[in-house]
């Protein structure tokens, strides 16, 4: 049922859908950090920590529903205070080691936990990938930790891991290795209207790392994860403001102050091309279901204190509007699975529509 709501001044309306849904995340760091301030090493912990922090603090994931695979199953004791769990008074972050046998045991078991109402983020946070004979089917990801030699996990095994969780409402997949675009070549099943994938580079490109504060020599990250964190939170890892508007061709993309998966991908692509590896790494978006312009990594969003002059469509768990003004002739569609809350001063002029599905 679609409700078309026209407001001229003040309204408080709540639309409720299903009662409960959970957001699950699987975070995999495919290597292990043994020292700080070394490219190709420090990122295995730094990137994992950064993304974990982003999910908990900015996207409000429940830590009990974030499954972390890293190294030998123990947190890295970084000497850099930026990447220490004590920063947030956290206990152990890592749940499991990153051996393939562990991944292959734990991840399929989540199919008994995740339901059709839940959303899942599968994030291969950082690692190395190899490509043989420029054949996307010959892509392999490398798993390494201190207790075993490197394991080469082939694409069919990786896809099988992802597809082993068959129940979900919306599924987001993010993949950070060299040649990661190979993961989007038609094997993740189903690439339907509920799944979207961002790869850190095309199948023929490497993915790069960089020291983002060369003066103080502090912030070692993959370009991709540094960009994702900075654009999503509006701040760089050192705490300074990320002026993310400069990474978008049109201000209209950000007029609602939210980043859809498609907008996030677009910004990351511009960001990583602005560092010294420009034109050598181009993130890729795979989305045959055409949902990336409507969904977000987090499922609980607010739109407030903005004017929206372009047509927008939102599809997520919960959305709250406050002090929002629509331009004349603007059509906004909100499809929420749990709740839409429309608060004070949400203004829809004559000729515009606000549709809640």
Summarised one tens digit per residue, pLDDT across range 214-273 is: 777 789 999 999 999 999 999 999 999 988 778 886 666 678 889 999 999 999 999 998
pLDDT above 50 (res 12): no
More confidently predicted of 294 and 250: 294
- When pLDDT is averaged across residues 203-220 and rounded to a whole number, the result is 89
Question: 68 near 58, Cβ under 8 Å?
Answer: no
Residue 14 has pLDDT above 60, yes or no: no
* Per-residue H/E/C for the chain: CCEEECCCCCCCEEEECCCCCCEEEEEEECCCCCCCCCCCCCHHHHHHHHHHHHHHHHCCCCHHHEEEEECCCCCCCCCCHHHCHHHHCCCCCCCECCCHHHHHHHHHHHHHCCCCCCEEEEEEEECEEECCCCCHHHCEEEEEECCEEEEEEEHHHHHHHHHCCCCCCEEEEEECCCCHHHHHCCCCCCCCCCEEEEECCCCCCCCCEEECCCCCCCCEEEHHHHHHHHHHHCECCCCCECCHHHHCCCHHHHCCCCCCHHHHHHHHHHHHCCCCCCCCCCCEEECCCCCCCCCCCCCEEEEEEEEECCCEEEEEEEEEEEEEEECCCCEEEEEEEEEEEECCCCECCCCCEEEEC
pLDDT digits (tens, 9 = 90+) for 127-180: 999 998 878 889 999 999 987 778 999 999 999 999 999 999 999 999 999 999
Q: Which two tokens stand for residue 325?
A: 């003004």
Tens digit of pLDDT for each residue in 106-133?
999 999 999 999 999 999 999 999 998 8
Structure-token match 């599809």, residue found: 315
Backbone angles phi, psi at 318, to 5 degrees: -140, 140
- State mean pLDDT over 96-106: 97
User: What is the share, in percent, of the chain residues with pLDDT greater than 70?
Assistant: 91
What are the tokens at 186?
A: 């038609």
What pLDDT does 7 receive? Answer: 46
CA distance 121 to 173: 6
Residue ranges, comma separated, of all CATH 3.40.50.1460 domains in the chain are 23-298
One CATH from 1.20.1330.10, 3.40.50.2300, 3.40.50.1460, 3.40.50.1000 for 23-298: 3.40.50.1460
**Token pair in block for residue 51:** 């993304």
Task: Count Cβ neighbours within 10 Å for each residue of 282-312 and write b for 16 or more, e otherwise.
Answer: bbbbbbebebbbbbbbbbbbbbeebebeeeb
Quick one: pLDDT at residue 255?
86
pLDDT tens, position by position, 309-333:
989 999 999 999 999 999 999 999 9
Q: If pLDDT is split at 50, 70 and 90, which confidence band does 345 have?
A: confident
* 123 in Cβ contact with 232 (< 8 Å): no
Residue 1 has what pLDDT? 40
CA distance 18 to 225: 33
Average pLDDT over the chain reads 89
Name 352's Cβ contacts closer than 8 Å, sequence gap at least 6: 6, 326, 327, 328, 329, 330, 331, 332
Q: Which of 102, 129, 264, 104 is nearest to 183 (CA)?
A: 129
Please report which confidence band the pLDDT of residue 13 belongs to, taking 50, 70 and 90 as the band edges. low
Mean pLDDT of 32-38: 93
Q: Please, which pLDDT band fits residue 290 given cuts at 50, 70 and 90?
A: confident
Under a CB-based contact definition with an 8 Å cutoff, are residues 141 and 127 in contact?
A: yes
């Amino acid at each position: 049922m679609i409700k078309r709501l026209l407001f001229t001044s003040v309204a408080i309306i709540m639309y409720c859908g299903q009662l409960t849904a959970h957001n699950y995340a699987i975070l995999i760091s495919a290597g292990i950090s043994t020292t700080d301030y070394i490219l190709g090493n420090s990122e295995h912990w730094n990137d994992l920590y950064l993304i974990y922090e982003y999910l908990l603090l900015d996207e409000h994931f429940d830590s009990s529903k974030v499954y972390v695979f890293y190294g030998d199953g123990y947190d890295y004791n970084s000497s850099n205070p930026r990447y220490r769990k004590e920063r947030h008074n956290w206990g152990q972050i890592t749940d499991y080691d990153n051996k393939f046998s562990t991944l292959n045991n734990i991840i399929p078991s989540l199919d008994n936990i995740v339901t059709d109402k839940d959303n899942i983020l599968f994030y291969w946070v950082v690692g190395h990938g190899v490509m043989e004979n420029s054949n996307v089917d010959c892509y392999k990801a490398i798993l390494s930790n201190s207790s075993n030699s490197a394991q080469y996990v082939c694409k069919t095994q990786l896809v099988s891991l992802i597809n082993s969780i068959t129940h979900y409402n919306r599924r987001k997949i993010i993949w950070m290795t060299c040649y990661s675009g190979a993961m989007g070549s038609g094997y993740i099943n189903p690439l339907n209207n509920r799944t979207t994938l961002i790869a850190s580079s095309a199948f023929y490109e490497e993915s790069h790392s960089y020291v983002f504060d060369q003066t103080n020599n502090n912030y070692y990250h993959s370009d991709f994860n540094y960009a994702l964190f900075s654009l999503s939170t509006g701040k760089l890892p050192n705490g300074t403001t990320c002026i993310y508007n400069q990474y978008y061709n049109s201000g209209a993309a950000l007029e609602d102050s939210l980043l859809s998966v498609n907008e996030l991908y677009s910004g990351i692509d511009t960001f990583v091309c602005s560092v010294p590896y420009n034109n050598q790494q181009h993130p890729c978006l795979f989305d045959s279901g055409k949902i990336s312009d409507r969904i977000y990594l987090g499922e609980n969003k607010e739109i407030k204190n903005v004017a929206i002059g372009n047509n927008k469509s939102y599809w997520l768990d919960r959305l709250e509007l406050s002090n929002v003004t629509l331009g004349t002739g603007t059509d906004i569609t909100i499809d929420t699975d749990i709740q839409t809350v429309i608060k004070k001063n949400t203004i829809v002029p004559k000729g515009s529509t606000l549709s809640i599905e």
